[in-house]
């Protein structure tokens, strides 16, 4: 049977039937008014005039990222190697709790940095200088980029990247200000080999998170077109830490799984899942957080999908709403 067999139903006819079914309630009562200010109607059809979205997407599936605790450097090196041997292909080092100097010869011993992603956070000046010396000694200069680093000095030989940090939820003003800052940087100084990273904290609203990831990429595609940049932005997604309830560990695993699915459907380039007990020294919980991604990739086949949200009226409408709200707030 062909779809043309059925007579099309107009938007007004749908609204009339909904109003009848509501038995006196206002149609506006069933419009979902999201706290961000987005209003979502309860149905969509061709008359909704939703523009198709074509995104410039990565050519490979997402990287599985694991956070490595740096309290004990030799243990950190051992944990990093073990993770890489069991499906992880990107490492995330946060130096926030590091008190003294790091021996990078020990930390990276046996790790082939040229074949994986390394993401760095909160590195101090002493350790950054030590890291730059290690990179130069190993010959990584001009050939390898340490992704989304927030290193203190702009050493263009090693850290050729700019990072945007998108917090959980939909803070349009904050996102718009970061885009504005990025545009100002591009107006002042464009380098063809710069790398751009969006680090996106995921929330619990499944479709909102899918659309947020896609909206960020849609806006970035507009910027690359404007400035004629021959590069793509790397979208890194991190599951929520605030959404984790320590007394409810098994439910946290389900929360992390749905957040991970939203990031993957939203076309992330890399994904970091927090352990369900927020303990990155607990080998069991770290293994579970890694295995969520392995199951989604190797058993559920999520890595075979190319932009699975494309053409879905609801997701496309949300994507446009989010992108427009951000764009309209850029000064």
Among 258, 190, 280, 269, CA closest to 226:
190
165 pairs with which residues across the strands? 199
As beta bridge partners, residue 63 has 270
Q: How far apart are the first and last CA of the chain?
A: 52
- Whole-angstrom distance, CA of residue 165 vs CA of residue 286: 24
Q: Across the chain, what does the average pLDDT equal?
A: 85
What is the domain extent for residue 246? 160-327
CB-based contact 194:224 (threshold 8 Å): no
pTM strictly above 0.85: yes
Q: Is residue 285 situated within a structural domain?
A: yes
Quickly tell me which residue has 């909206």 as its tokens.
215
Domain count, the chain: 1
Would you say how long the chain is, in residues?
331
| Helix orientation angle between 249-265 and 206-227, rounded to the nearest 10 degrees | 30
Comparing 322 with 163, the larger pLDDT belongs to 322
81 part of a folded domain: no
* 247: in domain: yes
pLDDT at 145 over 80: no
Asked if residue 310 has pLDDT above 60, the reply is: yes
Tokens of 165: 């940090």
pLDDT at position 153: 60
- For residue 197, being part of any structural domain is answered with yes
Give the Cα separation of 316 and 59 in Å (integer).
21
Whether residue 201 is contained in a domain is answered as yes
* Contact criterion met (CB below 8 Å) for 187 and 173: no
Position 202 in a domain: yes
pLDDT in tens, 4-48: 677 778 888 888 888 888 887 888 888 888 888 888 888 777 777
SS3 call for 65? strand
Q: Say what percent of the chain tops pLDDT 70.
A: 92
Dist. CA 87–CA 108, nearest whole Å: 18
- Tell me if 133 is assigned to some domain: no
For position 247, which CATH number holds?
Answer: 3.20.20.240
Q: Output the pLDDT for position 142.
A: 59
Q: Is 321 helix (H, G, I), strand (E, B) or coil?
A: helix
Q: Is residue 51 part of a domain?
A: no
User: Do residues 65 and 236 touch, judged by C-beta distance below 8 A?
Assistant: yes
Q: Are 256 and 276 in contact (CB under 8 A)?
A: yes
Residue-wise pLDDT tens digits, 44-84 = 777 777 788 888 887 788 999 999 989 889 999 999 999 99
CB 243, CB 84: distance < 8 Å: no
Residue 140 has pLDDT above 70, yes or no: yes
Structure tokens at 256: 């992390």
Q: What is the pLDDT of residues 242-280, one digit of tens each?
A: 888 877 778 889 999 999 999 999 999 999 999 988 777
């Amino acid at each position: 049977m062909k779809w043309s067999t059925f007579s099309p139903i107009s938007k007004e006819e749908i609204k009339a039937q909904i109003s009848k079914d509501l038995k006196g309630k206002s149609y506006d009562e069933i419009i979902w008014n999201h706290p961000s200010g987005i209003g979502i109607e309860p149905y969509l059809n061709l008359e909704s005039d939703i523009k198709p979205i074509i995104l410039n997407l990565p050519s490979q599936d997402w990287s599985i990222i694991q956070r490595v605790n740096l309290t004990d450097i030799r243990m950190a090196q051992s944990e990093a190697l073990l993770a890489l041997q069991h499906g992880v292909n990107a490492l995330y080092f946060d130096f926030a709790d590091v008190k003294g100097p790091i021996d990078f010869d020990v930390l990276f011993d046996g790790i082939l940095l040229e074949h994986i992603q390394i993401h760095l956070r909160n590195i101090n000046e002493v350790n950054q200088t030590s890291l730059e010396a290690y990179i130069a000694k190993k010959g990584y200069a001009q050939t390898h980029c340490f992704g989304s680093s927030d290193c203190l000095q702009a050493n263009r030989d090693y850290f050729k990247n700019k990072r945007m940090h998108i917090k959980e939820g939909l803070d349009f003003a904050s996102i718009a200000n970061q885009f504005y800052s990025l545009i100002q940087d591009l107006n002042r100084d464009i380098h063809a080999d710069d790398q751009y990273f969006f680090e996106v904290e995921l929330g619990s609203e499944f479709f909102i998170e899918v659309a947020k990831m896609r909206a960020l990429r849609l806006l970035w595609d507009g910027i690359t077109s404007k400035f004629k940049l021959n590069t793509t932005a790397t979208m890194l997604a991190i599951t929520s830490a605030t959404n984790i309830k320590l007394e409810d560990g098994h439910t946290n695993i389900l929360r992390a799984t749905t957040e991970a699915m939203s990031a993957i459907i939203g076309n992330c380039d890399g994904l970091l899942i927090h352990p369900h007990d927020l303990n990155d020294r607990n080998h069991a919980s770290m293994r579970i957080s890694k295995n969520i991604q392995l199951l989604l990739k190797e058993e559920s086949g999520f890595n075979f999908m190319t932009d699975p949200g494309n053409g879905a009226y609801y997701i496309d409408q949300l994507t446009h709403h989010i992108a427009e709200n951000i764009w309209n707030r850029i000064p």
